[in-house]
Amino acid sequence: MDSKHPRNPTRSLLLNHARRLFAERGFSAVSMRDIARSVGLQQSSIYNHFDSKQSILIELLRGHMLTLNQCRNDWLSDEVSATEQLIAFTQFHVAYHIDFPDDVFIAYMELRSLEPDNRKALVRLRDEYELSLQAIVQQGVTAGEFQCVDVAVHTRAIIAMLTGVTVWYRHDGRLDKDTVIHSYVTAALQSLGIPANDVAHQHELKKVKHV
Amino acid sequence: MDSKHPRNPTRSLLLNHARRLFAERGFSAVSMRDIARSVGLQQSSIYNHFDSKQSILIELLRGHMLTLNQCRNDWLSDEVSATEQLIAFTQFHVAYHIDFPDDVFIAYMELRSLEPDNRKALVRLRDEYELSLQAIVQQGVTAGEFQCVDVAVHTRAIIAMLTGVTVWYRHDGRLDKDTVIHSYVTAALQSLGIPANDVAHQHELKKVKHV
DNA sequence: ATAGTAAACGAACGGTCGTTCGTATGATAA
DNA sequence: TTATCATACGAACGACCGTTCGTTTACTAT
């Protein structure tokens, strides 16, 4: 079945519409008929491209998690100071979450809709990402650059703070993307006790690319 | 129908079990049969206590939002400095969210499952709560106590950071509640440019009471 | 031209959904 | 004792669910 190939246009269309619908209404509240209708197909035709409803969700979640980790690794370098790494991480994380809010929302909410084995694999990817920030925070604390009460708690606090951008950011809103990113970089740095006045604008923003 | 009174024990049981199920699986993924079974009733008997599935959700969400605002107002005083208000807000917010994670999770996820009128009323309550923190941040910036790039963005950043505690906190975990709260107070203060070493432990924690 | 195949269709499957209805029970109040 | 009423039951309603099936369509390679 050639249709299983990612480049298949109908298959991509189905994935994109499923992503939007799952993000809007939640996995359980979206039917195969809803997905089919939104791309102009009969519900049965979806099964030429996917084995089941759950397999659509799995592919969306796995694609998001793999892309997130890969982009992060492309973006960050571990050969600079913890402060510079934190700035780069924050810029990347906020930019990515502004660009792909639906993926983020589905990943946050619908992990529980997965069967245990699939869920475990994705939780591992999520933990890998979180631990990559925790390593930066730990490095900064050890080097005396950062101040915090507990590294693990503070890491989760920063990730939650940054991820929250998906809830309110609108492209036609009051602030442009760079200003928003600048705000979050300042907040993240300061939260670890770094005065952010001087460093925040030194780093140019590269473009996040979704694979 | 006396059963509509909140003190009715069966009705309270239904509300509590519905809350847990909605938080675990999501509103759409929970059936009236699931709720009935979990309290040992037939599905039809629920309609002696609630008009519809949606009305159960409304009551859970409204109860949460009203309680949250009321407790906040009981807890906070506006006759102290912005820094002290921020400490009190953070202590309250984290303590409340640790104690009632199911309510918080449902409120975050299931507003969209409501009909427009009901949703608007609850969004207003949520905005009221958020604006109460924004007022504190604005006051601190004006007084020169706080430093941030944008008051609205930073307010949302702090709320997201604090609310994230619900995702990972466990009562039998590595850290006790007070330590967790202390971590978040430090993070919130420092994020606004306040050195947190000296102030974090001055304020005793009062007990959050759910009405 | 013809055989093979990916992909679409539309009907149908058994099951579950939220909700309604008529009835039975058991406590309370007259 | 009797009338009332909140509450429980169990069957049933029409609608929708995810998925399967047999068939048709349309392109591709021989």
Q: Is the pLDDT of residue A205 over 60?
A: no
Residue A28 has its nearest CB partner, among B26, B160, B197, at B26
Phi first, then psi, for residue B78 (nearest 5°) are -100, 15
pLDDT at residue number A77: 94
CA-to-CA distance for A132 and A67, rounded, in angstroms?
15
pLDDT at residue number B196: 78
Specify the residue for token string 């709560």: B129
A53-211 in CATH: which number? 1.10.357.10
Q: Is the pLDDT of residue B173 over 80?
A: yes
pLDDT at residue number A57: 98
CA-to-CA distance for B123 and B133, rounded, in angstroms?
16
Mean pLDDT of A101-107: 97
CB A189 within 8 A of CB A83: yes
pLDDT at residue number A149: 97
B183/chain A closest Cα distance in angstroms = 5
Mean pLDDT of A9-31: 97
Mean pLDDT of A146-155: 97
CB A211 within 8 A of CB A80: no
Interchain proximity A149–B195, CB inside 8 Å: no
Give A23: exposed, middle or buried? Use CB within 10 Å, 0-12, 13-18, 19+.
Answer: buried
Instruction: Give the contacts of B19 (CB within 8 A, at least 6 positions apart).
Output: B60, B102, B103, B106
CB atoms near residue A116 (< 10 Å)? 7
Mean pLDDT score across all residues of chain A: 92
CA-to-CA distance for A7 and A92, rounded, in angstroms?
27
pLDDT digits (tens, 9 = 90+) for A70-83: 999 999 999 999 99
- pLDDT band, very low/low/confident/very high, at B8 (cuts 50, 70, 90): confident
Q: Is the pLDDT of residue A175 over 90?
A: yes
Provide, in whole angstroms, the distance separating residue A46's CA from nucleotide C11's C1'.
16
B54-211 in CATH: which number? 1.10.357.10
Alpha-helical (H) ranges within chain B are: 9-25, 32-39, 53-75, 82-99, 101-109, 116-142, 151-163, 165-168, 177-191
Pairwise pLDDT comparison (B205 vs B127), residue with the higher score: B127
- In this complex, the nucleotide whose C1' atom is nearest to the CA atom of residue B30 is C17
Mean pLDDT of A6-32: 94
CB A193 within 8 A of CB B195: yes
A108/chain B closest Cα distance in angstroms = 10
CA-to-CA distance for B154 and B160, rounded, in angstroms?
10
CA-to-CA distance for B181 and B151, rounded, in angstroms?
23
Shortest CA distance to B60 belongs to which of B35, B37, B42? B35
pLDDT digits (tens, 9 = 90+) for B12-29: 999 999 999 999 999 999
Q: Is the pLDDT of residue A185 over 80?
A: yes
CA-to-CA distance for B172 and B174, rounded, in angstroms?
7
CB A178 within 8 A of CB B147: no
Mean pLDDT of A28-44: 97
pLDDT at residue number A154: 98
B164/chain A closest Cα distance in angstroms = 5
Provide, in whole angstroms, the distance separating residue A44's CA from nucleotide C12's C1'.
12
Where are the CATH 1.10.10.60 domain residues in chain A?
A: 1-50
Instruction: Kindly list the distances between the CA atom of residue A112 and the CA atoms of A79, B31, B35, in Å, as whole numbers in the listed order.
Output: 37, 17, 19
CB B133 within 8 A of CB B89: yes
Give B75: exposed, middle or buried? Use CB within 10 Å, 0-12, 13-18, 19+.
Answer: middle
Residue A184 has its nearest CB partner, among B112, B157, B162, at B157
pLDDT digits (tens, 9 = 90+) for B104-139: 999 999 999 999 989 999 999 999 999 999 999 999
b/e string for A149-178 if b means 16 or more Cβ within 10 A?
A: bbbbbbbbbbbbbbbbbbeebeeeeebebe
pLDDT at residue number A1: 46
Where are the CATH 1.10.357.10 domain residues in chain A?
A: 53-211
pLDDT at residue number B90: 98
* Topology annotation, domain A1-50: Arc Repressor Mutant, subunit A (1.10.10)
Provide, in whole angstroms, the distance separating residue B53's CA from nucleotide D12's C1'.
19
CB B141 within 8 A of CB B151: yes
Where are the CATH 1.10.357.10 domain residues in chain B?
A: 54-211
